[in-house]
Amino acid sequence: MSSTRQFLSRKLAPHLSGLPSSTTTASRPVALNRPSKRGFASIKNNVDTLIVGGGPIGLSTAYHLATHYRDNDGSGITIVERDPTYARSSATLSAGGIRQQFSLKENIEMSLYGRDFLRQAHDVLKVDDDEVDVQFQEHGYLFLASSKQGKEQLIQNSKVQQSAGCDIHLMDPSQLKQKFPWLNTSDILLGSFGEKGEGWFDPWALIRGLKRKCQSMGVKFVKGSPVGSVRGKSNGRVLSVDVLEEEKDVVRYNVHHVVNATGAHCSKVMETLASTENGTGMIYPIPVEPRKRSIFFIHCNAQQSSDFVVPRIAPLTVCPVTGVYFRSEGLIQADGEPTGNFLCGVSPPQEIDKAIDDISELDYADHELWDEVIWPALYHRVPAFGEVKVKSSWAGLYEYNTLDQNAIIDFHPEMENVIMVNGFSGHGLQQSPASGRAVAELISCDSRFATLDLSVFSFERCCENRPVFEQGIV
């Protein structure tokens, strides 16, 4: 048992003993969660692992579980996904970035594995003769500092990154200007550029590749959402999960393990798994909420005077102070003309960045952010962006860990067979290969990590209000 589970088992013992019980045997069920209006489950299935959430992290978990520990046999794994079209998926609506420029060693190592996985995707996700092209474009990330504090942070981050084997280079203003002639460096003290291994890729291609590979190994996919559970009396273990499938039937899945990989929706899923008819829920809820993020697709006029240089290939560049980011968009040929197309965005100011309850808020992007924050920052950093037009925009969900904006990869102490893999706060897509592998290890290796030690992302820190901050949040 992990130290987190030992620690919390002691703390939770008095509370768990308060669960209604006529027996001390964990296999005896506590009451079923409140039934849905559609009635109780009429069909029952037995599965080893039920993964709730069929996005990149859930798919990666199934992939690694089947390939690393079950001889490519995924028949004991079922993935429940509410929207198999992925129309509202955080991944498909994101900028699709991957980087190693983090301050925490664990985040760096996870993204290094993600980098390697993307580079090998055409082979490892191949089914028959159908290869996968995730269109990984290694055009880099560029972080900029305009203050002494920001400069020192880039230097400290670089030491950790280079010790992990990253291809990251610090650049002074003259070096930046030489490599990126379109960049205004008048207020810049230092830049940090990822020469290789960083850039962006096609999230949909990764999802499609992982899903087809999982299907080829026998992983079952179900369209639906969990609506209830049955839990053991003595320790709260989830014995079965009721799933409303196709908005029709409630199907009960008897389970050994449950994985919550539902991203921005993870808190509601945990509430569903935990709540019983007598009102017993979680003492320690997961501190993750859904927030809104907007992305703008812009075009820059390439026919400008020689005084204004339009980026031919712009790395994903993060502006200091504002946090506005931009990158080139479209398949870029090494010797081609500038596309003039870019993606850009920014996190809303803290005072207005709140959880959203109405999904219809995603029907529109926040154009006030464009007018008041994004465009002024773009124009200042790239003078050629004085002539840009917004061609389209969209909004998506962002799973925000309110404690420290870092991942949670751990069992829940009140439901000892439920694994949370949530709260990535913007870097879940790029870390999906590593996080899926980590969950597969927790399931298969006596609740321990076997490759990367990711215990820093334990749930214990949430219960103790002990944040572990990452300085490289975008």
Residues 444-468 have a mean pLDDT of 98
β-strands 415-422, 325-328 pairing? unpaired
Residue 25 scores a pLDDT above 50: no
Residues 317-338 have a mean pLDDT of 85
pLDDT at 386: 92
Percentage of the chain beyond pLDDT 70 is 89
Residue 10 scores a pLDDT above 70: no
Residue 27 scores a pLDDT above 50: no
**Helix and strand element counts for the chain (H, E):** 12, 19
Residue 301 scores a pLDDT above 90: no
Could you tell me which residue, 305 or 182, shows the higher pLDDT? 182
The one-character DSSP state at 26 is T
> What's the token pair of residue 428?
């879940």
Residue located via tokens 């509202």: 88
Considering only 20-24, 60-64, 284-288, which range has the smallest mean pLDDT? 20-24
pLDDT at 31: 41
pLDDT at 307: 80
Nearby residues of 71 by Cβ (< 8 Å), 6 or more positions away = none
- Alpha-carbon distance 176 to 44, whole Å? 61
Q: Where are the alpha helices (DSSP H) in 285-361?
A: none
> What's the token pair of residue 214?
């999982």
- Alpha-carbon distance 50 to 120, whole Å? 27
> pLDDT tens-digit profile of 395-451?
999 999 999 999 999 999 999 999 999 999 999 999 999 999 999 999 999 999 999
Q: Are 310 and 338 in contact (CB under 8 A)?
A: yes
Q: Dihedral (C-alpha) 408, 414, 417, 422: value to the nearest 10 degrees?
A: -20
pTM: 0.92
Alpha-carbon dihedral sign for residues 194, 327, 118, 451: positive
Q: Residue 79: which of 287, 218, 188, 176 has the closest Cα?
A: 218
- Alpha-carbon distance 107 to 454, whole Å? 9
> What's the token pair of residue 440?
């597969």
> pLDDT tens-digit profile of 36-70?
444 567 788 999 999 999 999 999 999 999 999 99
> What's the token pair of residue 467?
């944040």
Nearby residues of 99 by Cβ (< 8 Å), 6 or more positions away = 111, 141, 194, 198, 316, 430, 472
The one-character DSSP state at 191 is E
